[in-house]
Amino acid sequence: METSKNGVVGVRGREVLRRNWMFKLVGKETFHIGKHKGVIHIEAVSGFAYEYTLEIDEKDTMDVWCDGEVLDTAGEFVEGGSETHFEVGGRSCCIRAVSSGKRREGIIHSLLLDDREIPEAIE
C-alpha cells in the first residue's frame, strides 16, 4: 500500500482511493479493493505526529498468507524494527519491518528468502 500527500492510496501501483484534498487529520477513510473493504484509521499521538492503522475486511493484524492459507509465524523485535519468520515449501522466509529514519517515509518492509532479500517487483 502506498499513500501520498495529495490524498491518493494505491495498492500494487493501482489507485484505490483519491481525495481532492488531504486526508482528514484524524478519523477514518474507507475504500474498496474489489469485494474487500479497507479502512485507514488516523489518530493523533503527540504534537504533529500521527498514527495510521490499516484494516482489510475488519482485520488489523499482520497475517501472512500463501496460496489462500494463513501461515504459522514467529515474530521478534530486532534493532530498529521487527521480523516475522515463517516457512514456505521448507524454505526459511522473513518479513523485516524497520524504520526509514524519516518521519514522512515511515516503515520499510522487506521480504527475505533463505536470508537473501527479494527485490521489489516492477510491474
User: Which triple of cell numbers denotes residue 3?
Assistant: 499513500
CA distance 25 to 95: 30
Query: Across the chain, what does the average pLDDT equal?
Result: 79
Domains within the chain, CATH numbers bracketed: 1-60 (2.40.128.180), 62-118 (2.40.128.180)
For position 20, what pLDDT does the model report? 61
Tell me the C-alpha distance between 44 and 51, whole Å: 6
d(CA 70, CA 55): 16
Encode pLDDT of 48-69 as tens digits.
777 777 787 776 567 888 888 8
